[in-house]
């Protein structure tokens, strides 16, 4: 599974600002970052009168808009999706997902803390709620890692050392008739480890950096 870290804290404490600084730090280290924002009040991203808005008003339960460099989908839900389900379904090429919110989940959390906004951590007991670090003002706690407002580079190193450095850096892609198949992190790992495991039994294996396999199928029908 892709590692997930939730950034939590009081309203207007600066969670988004911290993420804005952290994402490029991890990017400079070569990691692909995905994000999920939790909005308990609901949200609207489609503009009234636009074609996609008209599609949804006509009754479409899922609306997608695609361009050469990006894609967005609006899907109407019967129930809210769990964070793990969102990550598994929609994030397949990222090395880590940073979520803003989701303080009630079991995932590791980094709390953004400002004493002028909140007298104590919103998560309360850091051990019970899996709080691994605090960013911002120093809390009156000794058992949790602390990073100052301007110490984002150290925060990135902390996350890298804890969740990224020891992950296997396998880049696996499959192209079928010129079209690249979409695989989530779990499938990519299984495919990579299966292929590597089989090839290691063959004479000539010398721990290569790149592996290229081409296969032409016999399309004759029975």
Task: Domains for the chain: give ranges and CATH numbers.
Answer: 4-164 (3.40.50.300), 168-222 (no CATH)
pLDDT the model gives residue 113: 94
Q: Express each pLDDT in 102-115 by its tens digit.
A: 989 999 999 999 99
Contacts of 159 (CB under 8 A, 6+ apart): 5, 22, 26, 96
pLDDT of res. 167: 63
CA 23 to mean position of chain CA atoms: 11
The tens digit of pLDDT for each residue in 132-150 reads 999 999 888 777 899 999 9
Q: What is the pLDDT of residues 6-39, one digit of tens each?
A: 999 999 999 999 999 999 999 999 899 999 998 7
- pLDDT-based confidence at residue 42 (cuts at 50, 70, 90): low
Rounded to an integer, what distance in angstroms lies between the CA atom of residue 222 and that of residue 217?
14
């Amino acid at each position: 599974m892709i590692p997930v870290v939730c950034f939590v804290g009081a309203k207007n404490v600066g969670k988004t600002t911290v993420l804005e600084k952290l994402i490029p730090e991890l990017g400079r280290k070569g990691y692909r970052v995905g994000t999920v924002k939790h909005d308990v009040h609901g949200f609207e991203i489609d503009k009234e009168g636009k074609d996609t808005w008209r599609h949804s008003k006509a009754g479409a339960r899922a609306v997608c808009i695609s361009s050469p460099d990006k894609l967005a989908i609006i899907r109407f839900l019967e129930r809210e999706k769990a964070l793990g389900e969102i990550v598994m379904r929609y994030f397949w090429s990222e090395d880590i997902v940073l979520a803003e919110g989701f303080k009630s989940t079991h995932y590791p959390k980094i709390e953004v803390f400002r004493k002028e906004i909140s007298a104590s951590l919103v998560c309360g007991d850091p051990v019970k709620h899996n709080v691994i670090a605090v960013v911002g003002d120093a809390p009156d706690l000794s058992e949790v890692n602390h990073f100052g407002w301007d110490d984002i580079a150290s925060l990135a190193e902390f996350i890298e050392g804890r969740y990224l450095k020891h992950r296997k850096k396998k880049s696996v892609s499959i192209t079928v008739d010129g079209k690249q198949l979409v695989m989530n992190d779990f499938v990519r790992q299984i495919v990579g480890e299966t292929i590597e495991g089989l090839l290691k039994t063959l004479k000539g294996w010398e721990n290569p950096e790149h592996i290229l396999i081409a296969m032409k199928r016999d399309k004759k029908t029975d």
